[in-house]
C-alpha cells in the first residue's frame, strides 16, 4: 500500500499501559466511526506497515486507545511512538453535497459566480488559520479562503467548484 492510496487518520501520541497499548490522536470530526478497526497502516521509516488491531476504544472522546497484535510490552509500544496512522482511501465515508475531502477536489476547476472561470485547483493550504484554495490561473497563483459562505456548489460530475468571493479578491492577484 502506498501513501497516495491512503488517508491520514492520526498519530500515536502516548503509551497507555505496560501491555503495549497506545493512545492515538485522530484527525477526524467523527472519531467513533474508527472505533472498531481491524487493521491500520503505520508509517515506519517512510514505509506503510500493516498492523492488526486486537482491540480499540475511544478514550476521552478525541483519543483512540489501541491494542495492536504483537505489541505486548512498553518497549514494543516505544518502537511505534509518534507513528502516523493511515487507512486506505476506500474506507473514507462518502461525503454528499458541498462537503469534500481535500484530496478529492485537486484538479477541479474553480468558477466564481461573478468573475467566471478562475482556474484549476492545484492544492489546499491548511497550514494557516483559514484553509486556502491554491488555484493556478495560467501560471498565476490565486488564493481563495475555504469559507463555507464562499462555496456555493461542489459539482463532482463536472469537476467544478462554484464560489462567490468578495468583490475584488480575485482581481488583487491579476493586477500586475
pLDDT tens per residue across all 176 residues of the chain:
888 888 889 999 999 999 999 999 988 877 888 888 999 999 999 999 999 999 999 987 779 999 999 999 999 999 999 999 999 988 887 777 788 877 788 999 999 999 999 999 999 998 788 889 999 999 999 999 998 899 999 998 999 999 999 999 999 999 86
CATH 2.40.30.60 residue ranges of the chain are 3-91
pLDDT of 60 reads 78
The pLDDT score that the predictor gives to residue 176 is 61
All three cell numbers of 19:
501491555
**Assign residue 166 a region: left if phi > 0, alpha if psi is -120 to 50, beta otherwise?**
beta
- Residue 31 has a pLDDT of 85
Task: Give the closest residue to 144 by CA, choosing from 108, 93, 104.
Answer: 108
Give the model's pLDDT for residue 154. Answer: 92
Domain with CATH 2.30.30.240 in the chain: 102-174
Long-range contacts of 142-146 (CB under 8 A, 24+ apart): 142/118, 142/170, 142/173, 142/174, 143/173, 144/110, 144/118, 144/169, 144/170
Beta-bridge partner residues of 119: 110
What is the CATH number assigned to the segment(s) 3-91? Answer: 2.40.30.60
- Distance from the Cα of residue 73 to its chain's centroid: 31
CA distance 176 to 172: 9
- In sequence order, the β-bridge partners of residue 11 are 25, 84
Distance (Å, whole) CA 99 – CA 154: 8
Second-level CATH architecture of 102-174: Roll (2.30)
- DSSP annotation of 147 reads -
User: Strand pairing partners for 5?
Assistant: none
What's the residue count for the chain? 176
Amino acid at each position: 500500500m502506498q501513501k497516495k492510496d491512503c488517508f491520514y487518520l492520526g498519530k500515536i501520541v502516548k503509551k497507555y499501559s505496560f501491555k503495549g497499548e497506545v493512545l492515538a490522536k485522530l484527525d477526524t470530526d467523527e472519531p467513533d466511526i474508527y472505533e472498531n478497526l481491524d487493521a491500520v497502516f503505520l508509517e515506519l521509516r517512510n514505509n506503510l506497515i500493516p498492523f492488526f488491531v486486537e482491540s480499540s476504544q475511544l478514550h476521552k472522546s478525541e483519543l483512540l486507545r489501541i491494542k495492536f497484535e504483537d505489541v505486548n510490552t512498553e518497549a514494543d509500544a516505544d518502537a511505534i511512538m509518534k507513528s502516523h496512522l493511515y487507512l486506505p482511501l476506500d474506507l473514507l465515508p462518502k461525503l454528499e453535497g458541498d462537503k469534500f475531502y481535500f484530496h478529492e477536489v485537486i484538479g477541479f476547476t474553480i468558477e466564481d459566480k461573478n468573475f467566471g472561470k478562475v482556474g484549476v485547483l492545484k492544492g489546499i493550504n491548511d497550514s494557516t488559520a483559514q484553509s486556502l484554495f491554491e488555484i493556478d490561473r495560467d501560471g498565476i497563483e490565486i488564493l481563495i479562503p475555504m469559507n463555507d459562505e464562499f462555496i456555493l456548489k461542489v459539482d463532482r460530475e463536472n469537476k467544478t467548484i462554484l464560489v462567490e468571493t468578495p468583490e475584488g479578491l480575485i482581481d488583487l492577484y491579476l493586477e500586475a
